[in-house]
Structure 1
Amino acid sequence: MSLLVFIPMYDCAAQIPRVLAQFNDAGIATWVDGILCIDNRSTDGTVAAAKAGLEAADVPSRVLLQNDGNYGLGGSHKVAIEYAAAHGYTHLAVLHGDDQGSIRDLIPHLEARAHERSEFLMGARFMRGSTLEGYSTLRTAANRTFNLIFSAVSGTRLYDLGSGLNVFRVSAFSDGFHLRFADDLTFNYYLILAVAARGHALQFFPLTWREDDQVSNAKLGRMGLQILGLLWRRVSNKHAFLTGEHRDTPRTAYPSTRIARWDA
């Protein structure tokens, strides 16, 4: 396995140093071949903070990119998937830059070789064994409800629709099935429904998820309506959902600019 950790960033200058400090743990760094931080046009000091954190990280390859446009969280995923494939990585881990999750939760599952049995190894905030710290009762209830609805629609038990800690087998994206999914925060919902419908090997694992100084970009009411809308599209026409265009701004490419790179 060659593992690239992708860290999407947007206005997380206060949190990204803590995220990158995790890789100074030898037990974590042993598993990681590269770190890819992708900034989605932050308006604070995220880029400078990430640059300093990457410079100190104990990982062979470290790269800092900034999207040339506002591509959203989903768009940043597409940039990372393309980068991982182009540079020969077999697996792509996603660890959000706002320090809500810890990559330490992933290590026992890598040690157990779960990534060899699964194409999508997904962290789940709402399954048995997980711990939520500072997460509101309303958001927890809403997420659990949507998990059950998505499970019923997909015919697959889904314990989370998209946490900030996942591992993808890069070859699973080789046909580009993900490219027409929405570029915003709903990308993960499209992805999980497609993974289930296409019969990919999917496994969930428990994690610890916390909220302290993070600022969420997701508004519960608006997100709820978006989720219901995409669920309706999936139910009404499965083929169109899997193959249709779901982006507000279709793109033929997602160019980015390299800010810095370090190689051992």
Structure 2
Amino acid sequence: MNTIQEFSTKKYIDRLIASTPSKPQNKRITYRKYSILVTMPCWNEERKVGPGVNAVPKTLVDTVCVVDNGSIDNTANEANEAGALVISHPINLGAGGGIRTGLAYGKLNQYDLLAVLAGDNQDDPNDLYRAVDKLIDDDLDYIQGSRWLKEGKRENMTLSRTILTWLYSLFFRILFRAKITDATNGFRVFRREVLENPKLNLWQDWLLQYELEPYLLIQTCRAGYRVSEVPVTKRYHNDMKDNTKMVPFKSWWSILRPLFLISLKIRK
């Protein structure tokens, strides 16, 4: 029987993305001379992924890569009809596995900037303009979105999520001495070269779930890259069932693990 361990290996994903079409570099849309790929990891996000893809600015982003993470609904077809490049996993490889595939595709095909947005339409893609402009103007390497900065917005955010995300970012600042106000925000834009640093190994087995995103931010900060934030909008759906696919306690522990494992030098 095929397993998550088999399908999530670098060898398998490399074959998968190598067989996925790519637009020639000289025919890509560029913004201020930069080609941009947006990764949207999705698992059963029909009725959300289509509007999310359609909202991505066409004059800014060349390719929206939707990673269909083993969905059993119409996610892949809806994303394709909206104009996204779709890479489908045969089974759900976890939140981290979905993001990792999109980033690997962007790295292999040499996009200048890589961005990650939520596949369930919780981010405002127009915030990408602000992020990309700041990265270029200030000669930065990595931009993290923040709902807590002035002009940042939070829609339908519960009190418990508000408290937990604020506390998490506080711990992040203390442990890694980084000026990050929203360490759990999934909105990010960074230079492809960040992924080429040997200190960042996204192919570790323990990064398949929610660990990958904080790991990427932690290691980018620790590697000495120029990291900053921009205000963004984070909107949660009114229906609590559609708000998140996170499992209480288990998913939050998945997010917390990198803080402890890396600060204690158990993982790297």
TM-score range, shorter chain: 0.7 to 0.9
TM-score (structure 2 length as normaliser):
0.79
Helix, strand or coil: the match of 1:2? strand
Name the SS of the counterpart of 1:189 in structure 2: helix
Q: Greater RCO between the two (CA within 8 Å, min separation 6)? A: 1
Shift of 1:228: 4.1
Q: Secondary structure at the match of 1:18?
A: helix
Q: Counterparts of 1:227 and 1:34 in 2: how far apart (Å)?
A: 28
Structure 2: state its 5+ residue gaps. Answer: 1-33
Given that 1:8 and 1:97 are in contact with CA atoms closer than 8 Å, whether structure 2 keeps it comes out as: yes
Choose the corresponding residue for 1:187, options 212, 215, 230: 212
**Residues 96-128 of structure 1, C-alpha deviation per residue, up to 9 Å, x if partnerless?**
110111111121333455476222111112233
Question: What is the CA–CA distance in structure 2 between the aligned matches of 1:45 and 1:74, rounded to whole Å?
Answer: 21
Match of 1:130 among 152, 167, 171: 152
Q: Is the 8 A contact 1:94 1:165 kept in 2?
A: yes
**Match of 1:106, SS?**
helix
Q: Which amino acid aligns with 2:250?
A: R
Q: 1:209 aligns with which of 234, 253, 256?
A: 234
1:234 and 2:258 matched: no
Task: State the superposition RMSD in angstroms.
Answer: 2.0
Instruction: Say if 2:37 is the partner of 1:15.
Output: no
1:232, distance to aligned residue in structure 2 (A): 2.5
Q: Which secondary structure does the structure 2 equivalent of 1:99 belong to?
A: coil
User: Secondary structure, in 3 states, of the residue corresponding to 1:42?
Assistant: coil
TM-score (norm 1): 0.80
May I ask how many residue pairs the two structures share in their alignment?
Answer: 229
Give identity over the alignment, percent. Answer: 22
Judged with a 3 Å threshold, the aligned counterparts in structure 2 of structure 1 residues 90 and 228 are, in CA distance, closer, same or farther, namely closer
Q: 2:209·2:254 contact (CA, 8 Å) conserved in 1?
A: no
> For the Cα contact (< 8 Å) 1:100–1:164, is it kept in 2?
no
Structural mapping, 1:155-166, within 5 Å: 155-166=177-188
Q: Report the Cα distance in structure 2 between the residues aligned to 1:199 and 1:111, rounded to whole angstroms.
A: 21
Change (3 A) 1:215 1:113: closer
Q: Is the 8 A contact 1:115 1:167 kept in 2?
A: no
Per-residue CA distance 1:23-75 (angstroms, 9 max, x = gap): 4xxxx211111121110001221112112212xxxxxxx42110134221211
What whole-Å deviation, never above 9, does each CA across 1:201-246 have from its counterpart, x for those lacking one?
1111111111125341113422333344433322322xx422xxxx
